[in-house]
Copies of this chain bind each other. A is one copy, B any other.
Amino acid sequence: MATHGHAHASVTGAARRPVRLNLFAHACGHHSAAWRAPGSSVERLADITYWEELARIAERGRLDAVFLADGQSIGTAGVERGPAWMLEPLTALTAMARATERVGLVTTVSSTFWDPFHAARLLASLDHISRGRAGVNVVTSMTDEEARNHSMTALPGHAQRYATAGEFLEVLQGLWESWPMESILAEPDGAYVDPALLRPPLHRGEAFAVDGPLNVPTPPQGRPVLFQAGASEPGRALAARHAEGIYAVAWDLASARTYRGDIRSRAAALGRDPDALAVMPGLVPYVASTEEEARRRKAELDARLPVQDSLRQLSFFVGQDTSDWELDAPVPPLPPLEEFTGPKGRYATVLRILETARPTVRELLGLLAAGGGHATVIGTPERVADEIERWVDAGAADGFNLMPPTLPGGIEEFVDQVVPVLQRRGRFRCEYEGTTLRDHLGLPRPPQEIPAPTGS
């Protein structure tokens, strides 16, 4: 096996940046029909050993992190179509943390529906329990169905959700700094904590009022690594200001490069180092020893897809009823991005696919079946590694958020076949360099000022 890994990459200069790789663990895999395949993991979704196994495979491949998405409703419109949610992610990731030693653990928290004190506390606790491997993807949520599970009648508007998300992140950061470990004196004949070193944020904002301090001390990483997935204008602004990692949606290299360039410019304009921000588009890999075999596996999964369900998913993506669209006719014209009020990233992808490929409705359904419009690569391990390198070297990505069509099979194949190719090429670590998720991503620990005594 190759042993040059990370060291080799730095010798050959900035153009050959190390690749970031996350596993996006979801249900039986990201293909909508994955759970229908014989031998799928559908019976194990409420069994924590399934999720622990996925985390162990990711760690075996030296991946940066395992990421869990989240939603705040069962998704009644889609619940017939296949599994989405089962275990709650913070508890699942806590168990996954104790089943592994190094791999990062990234959860998703909705700033629209979470109280920031609870969120800060659970996340800080996960960072302590995992000894510095926690990350959090802050989302603003998408449906009225979710709002109606949280004593709201409808989802707040897009602008308000993003304003709240910004405030939510400020409160979280203030809380994570509010009880520094240095304040714990634990002197047998003196005080347990020096209260002068506590830094209660005393936050008073539009959405939240939080005195603090948090009742969990500052987490090992200073704060969990902050992820974002925003594609809209306020989403990009929020990501440029706060995110350290971005789970982007990009159908092709050109749109990924445009997106990454925009985010980096915005971050730089805010005085941030753009290299401390990893842009990781989703990637759906179909890997097999021959391209023909990889295509055959994809076709097999596609064939299990009920067309009516796919049309229903498409209705959600494009924000209109598509159930009477003619399958073998071209996709009807869609309104421009500015007029769309749902999640922008995926809609932009649909528009991009229409513009570049002019598919029939049936062809579009096939392209959206796994991952809903994320980049898809089909082929041998070498071909998949080539594509990963090509995107990274073109400045279109810092790495990828892997969305295997099936799980655990799809991530096992990637880890056992694609990762060794990237390692041989010096593009991916052979061993973890450090112990925390910040170490893996080469991110600095947030600055820890010496706190001024209270009252000064």
List A residues at the B interface (Cβ < 8 Å): 35-38, 42-43, 46-48, 71-76, 79-88, 90-92, 94-95, 97-99, 113-115, 117-118, 121-122, 124-126, 128-129, 145, 148-153, 179, 186, 188-189, 191-195, 198, 200, 207-217, 304
- Do residues A151 and B98 form an inter-chain contact, with CB atoms below 8 A? no
Complex interface: chain B residues within 8 A of A35 (CB): 186, 192
- Do residues A149 and B91 form an inter-chain contact, with CB atoms below 8 A? no
Complex interface: chain B residues within 8 A of A191 (CB): 80-81
A151 to B73: give the CA distance in the assembly, Å: 24
Q: How far is the CB of A87 from chain B (nearest CB, A)?
A: 5
Q: How far is the CB of A194 from chain B (nearest CB, A)?
A: 8
- Do residues A151 and B209 form an inter-chain contact, with CB atoms below 8 A? yes
Complex interface: chain B residues within 8 A of A193 (CB): 79-80
- Do residues A79 and B198 form an inter-chain contact, with CB atoms below 8 A? yes
Q: A115 — nearest CB in chain B belongs to which residue?
A: B150
Q: A117 — nearest CB in chain B belongs to which residue?
A: B149
A210 to B149: give the CA distance in the assembly, Å: 4
Report if A149-B211 is in contact (Cβ < 8 Å); known contacts: A36-B188, A122-B91, A186-B43.
Answer: yes
In this complex, which of A94, A179, A211 has the most chain B Cβ atoms within 10 angstroms of its Cβ?
A: A94
Q: How far is the CB of A455 from chain B (nearest CB, A)?
A: 13
- Do residues B115 and A213 form an inter-chain contact, with CB atoms below 8 A? no
- Do residues B88 and A124 form an inter-chain contact, with CB atoms below 8 A? yes
A213 to B84: give the CA distance in the assembly, Å: 14
Which among B79, B91, B125, B200 is the interface contact of A129 at CB below 8 angstroms? B91
- Do residues A192 and B81 form an inter-chain contact, with CB atoms below 8 A? yes
- Do residues B88 and A121 form an inter-chain contact, with CB atoms below 8 A? yes
Which among B188, B198, B216 is the interface contact of A88 at CB below 8 angstroms? B216
Complex interface: chain B residues within 8 A of A82 (CB): 192
In this complex, which of A35, A36, A129, A149 has the most chain B Cβ atoms within 10 angstroms of its Cβ?
A: A149
- Do residues B198 and A145 form an inter-chain contact, with CB atoms below 8 A? no
A233 to B129: give the CA distance in the assembly, Å: 39
Which among B46, B48, B75, B216 is the interface contact of A98 at CB below 8 angstroms? B48
In this complex, which of A71, A87, A189, A215 has the most chain B Cβ atoms within 10 angstroms of its Cβ?
A: A215
Which among B79, B94, B95, B216 is the interface contact of A192 at CB below 8 angstroms? B79
Q: How far is the CB of A196 from chain B (nearest CB, A)?
A: 10
A-B contact pairs, 17 of them (CB 8 A): A35-B192, A36-B188, A42-B192, A47-B128, A71-B215, A80-B192, A83-B186, A87-B128, A88-B124, A88-B216, A91-B125, A94-B94, A113-B117, A113-B118, A117-B150, A145-B211, A149-B210
Complex interface: chain B residues within 8 A of A211 (CB): 73, 145, 148-149
